[in-house]
A and B are shown apart, each in its own frame.
Chain A
């Protein structure tokens, strides 16, 4: 695929500019096809989308080079890595026409001060999706996967997102984000080791499996839980009150992008409230563009998966990248759990 894309990019570069192109590298099942269609119609730019399933997959591929992509959508935690490694182009989106629509909260994030590289795509939380017809107890707790109630045992999925799974467990035992405290981590390891026999799988795809009741609970992203609920009304989303990650994904132009003008056009395009709403209506996450709510589906406006219930909002922890030393310990624990 990579080689194919590179070939396509090379062919496009060699010939006279026949058609304008844009190669987007984004999370799977995340890009609204309607929004892309509208973009293609309005601008005449041909869009190709390639999927990835984790930040690390994307980062590794981009680091390896020769990918042929123009745009990538890393999480806020990964944006500083991309910037440090010189992988992003300083495209100064804060000077773009539509930047005025970016919501106050996302105008000057810690991961990209002054928005010199990225524009908001979507943001959300990681929590517990539970089938309430199987278990009707309290779901605002990480015990759903760390100390599962009997009804859920053996029917739990865990997304194989090491940092989220570790972080929620660390908060559960009272630790802090990126903790390197020996006692905390020992507790986390023991907790995970004991809980693992109750898990059914570690898999990224949760929407269909929750809806089809292949699994009764899963750690998952809030938008995924909402999509599952729209297919199966028994699915509810819980926010662990001991702490849960808040993340954001951001659109950036790659340093070696070949279609820079097209990429800039795209960045500006998705900051338009109406277009941002299309992104949210598809993937079911909030988008960080003020005024987009007016164009969103009704179901999004009141959804508890999107609008965090008041008292639980405080428990959200903005995700940041952990230092390599912490990462190394987490990897050792993760390997131990999955051996």
Chain B
């Protein structure tokens, strides 16, 4: 094709246009497999979930193919069985709130531990950095369930921590750590910590530490250097890390179930309930989509806010 086009004397403009067309086609072809996977493997199931959320629950699980808005109505409101009145579904809202609260706390905890860790690694000599990174990544390769059970082994009443504390004589009776929000926080922070360290490290690795020296030369204190120089430049990493931790926390299922003891549900468990004992698949689907919308909205707001700030600084 290209050969015939160049053999004919044609205006340069046409040639450029032809090349652009060609490029576009090549790009489309190269992208096709990835796009196909995205469409079938991501959008496909999502569309099924969307369709299910507008159907009627079957008597014993599954769905009946009758259109209904009841599931969506039930996400936010319900008819109280005892009074017969339509009320705000405060049970659902409090489960949403607990999930958001615990996810935010986990993200903060991950940032608090992850940032200094990433900073430490980024300031090591280039040769040893890979070794430190490996230490962070190895647990990440381990199955999530196994890591969760490992935490359980540590904090259960007969576990390592309590046994050690009793052995030292600091306490007489074990401290109840399992099945508390503390256990949940520790578990989730441990599980998702690498997702914070990796992007923050990536940002800090490119960071020019001569800027810190320059800061000190200009009589900036440690705190000022951190706040005015390091943090702003590491911000893309911090933002990416926070999103990577916050989002999976919101939908966490295994950790709340194993470490939280299932006494207070989080969203993941609540959605599961609808597909299991609750036998209300449409409500489960609607809840899952609500979660998706919340995450998307939060991301858009967050990215916009960060973007505006950045625009302001450059402008």
Query: Chain A interface (Cβ within 8 Å of chain B)?
Result: 54, 56-57, 59-60, 63, 81, 84-85, 154, 160-163, 182, 185-186, 196, 199-203, 212-214, 321, 324, 327-329, 331-336, 338-339
Contacts and interface: CB of A to CB of B under 8 A. Distances in A.
Contacts of A332: 78, 81
Nearest to A160: B262
Contacts of A196: 263
A196 B262 CA distance: 12
Contacts of A214: 156-158, 178
| Secondary structure type dominating chain A contacts | helix
Interface centre among B60, B90, B157 (most CB of A within 10 A): B60
Given A200-B263, A201-B261, A331-B280, A59 B61 contact: yes
Contact of A57 (B176, B276, B278): B276
Given A200-B263, A201-B262, A212-B158, A182 B61 contact: no
B272 to A, nearest CB: 9
Nearest to B59: A324
Contacts of A84: 60
A336 B261 contact: no
B167 interface: no
17 contacts: A54-B276, A56-B279, A60-B61, A154-B176, A182-B81, A185-B81, A201-B263, A202-B262, A202-B263, A203-B261, A203-B262, A212-B157, A324-B60, A331-B273, A333-B81, A335-B273, A338-B263
Contacts of B275: 56, 60
Interface of B: 59-62, 78, 81-82, 90-92, 94-95, 156-158, 176, 178-179, 261-265, 270, 273, 275-280
A182 B277 contact: no
B264 A63 contact: no
Contacts of A328: 280
A81 B265 contact: no
Given A335-B91, A335-B273, A339-B95, 15 more contacts: A54-B277, A59-B60, A160-B262, A199-B263, A202-B261, A202-B263, A203-B262, A214-B157, A324-B279, A327-B279, A331-B277, A333-B81, A335-B265, A335-B278, A336-B91
Contacts of B82: 182, 185-186
A161 B278 CA distance: 11
Given A202-B263, A338-B263, A85 B277 contact: no
Contacts of A336: 91
A35 to B, nearest CB: 27
A331 to B, nearest CB: 5
A41 B82 CA distance: 58
A121 to B, nearest CB: 21
